[in-house]
Structure formats: C-alpha cells, structure tokens
Chain A
Amino acid sequence: GAGVSQTPSNKVTEKGKYVELRCDPISGHTALYWYRQSLGQGPEFLIYFQGTGAADDSGLPNDRFFAVRPEGSVSTLKIQRTERGDSAVYLCASSSLDGTGTQYFGPGTRLTVL
C-alpha cells in the first residue's frame, strides 16, 4: 500500500519568500505530525493534528509557521518570510490512532533558503 508522501522533495527559495510544503498521509490515518530535522540531528516535533484540528502546535518555532489540514487528510505546512535558519528537512508522519499508534514517516521535503 502507499505510504506517506510529501511534495516537493526539494524546495529552494530566497530569504523572505513564502513556501508551502504538502503531506499526504496514509489513507485512513487520523493523526498527522510534522517534524523538522536539521543536519546531523534527530527530528524535532512541530505540530500534531487529530482529524482537522491542530491538537498540539507547541513545537512551531514562531508565528511565521502555520499548518492546516482542512479535510482531515492532506496537510500543508506554510512558512512565511523564510529565513536561512529555516533550512532543514521537513518530515511528515501519520498514525492510525490518537497518539498511541506507530508513526510512519514520509521521505521529507528538503528546504533550502538562500
């Protein structure tokens, strides 16, 4: 079956621009997570959705970051006024349960801010 997919796989943008990163979770998975991974480090939690609502957004670094999941399936992570420090791999994971199931990760989107 299809796993978690993320698009684009790579995104290069200029400082100050706006970007959107998309995540397609495994069909039927109600829980969706976004993480950010910097070079040589483990993924860091950003936000968690249960259905359409953001149940925990405590990991978002500042108000330039926002994520939506309007129909409870696909999610979009939005970054405004990008900064060079936002460069990282953005990972999405989904789970079939409400926070207790195994999380399956997508391949990530590598964001480079010039």
Chain B
Amino acid sequence: GESVGLHLPTLSVQEGDNSIINCAYSNSASDYFIWYKQESGKGPQFIIDIRSNMDKRQGQRVTVLLNKTVKHLSLQIAATQPGDSAVYFCAELFYNQGGKLIFGQGTELSVKP
C-alpha cells in the first residue's frame, strides 16, 4: 500500500505579511547553519546561511537569526509572496565531517493570496 509520511508543521500566512519559520538544533559543534527551500518535485534550493559565530545575517527579503544560548534558528521572510510557498528546512554543516548536512524537520509555508 501507499506509505504515509510524517505531517510537517505548517505555517499559513497572507500575501504581503512577514513569515517567521523556526528551527531547533541540538549539536553545539555546528560550523554553519543553512536554510533551504524545497518546492514540490524539486531538490532543496539554498536560501541563506549563517556562520556559527554570528547571530544575524540578512539577505534579499530574508533574515536569519541564530540564538546559540537556546539552540534556536529562525528564518524571517519579509512581504511573503505566493512564490514563497514551499517546505523550508534548516540544516547544520560540520567542517570536520566533510561538510555533510544534517537536516532538521521541515516547515511547510502556505501563502494565501
């Protein structure tokens, strides 16, 4: 029979609003944190990254915040657009492990027009 996957956390926002997607991590040895966007039927697409010794980084319409004290990472998307609808994953990167990525659970962002 058909397999049933886990239900992803879902965030539903109105077009034009700001979105905040959260991620908790457990390993303090991470060198980088990265946000990926994955649309249906496609591979993950790089959005933005942040080095572990930083607490904030801004890109175009996106901001990533890192709180190492509580091991929390967030992605803020300004003026969310329908094209932002996708599943968003945070990932940890470890230099001493060849740069392999450890992905967290994704969040499905749904933008209502």
Q: Which residues of A contact B (CB under 8 A)?
A: 4, 31, 33, 35, 38-45, 48, 50, 55-56, 59, 87, 91, 93, 95, 97-108
Contacts and interface: CB of A to CB of B under 8 A. Distances in A.
A42 B101 CA distance: 10
Given A41-B105, A41-B106, A87-B3, 10 more contacts: A40-B7, A43-B44, A55-B98, A91-B43, A93-B43, A99-B99, A100-B95, A102-B34, A105-B43, A107-B43
Contacts of B27: none
B6 interface: yes
**Chain B interface size, under 10 / 10 to 19 / 20 to 34 / 35 or more:** 20 to 34
Interface in B33-59: 34, 36, 41-46, 49
B91 interface: yes
Contacts of A50: 98
A57 to B, nearest CB: 10
B25 interface: no
B100 A42 contact: no
A42 B43 contact: no
Nearest to B106: A42
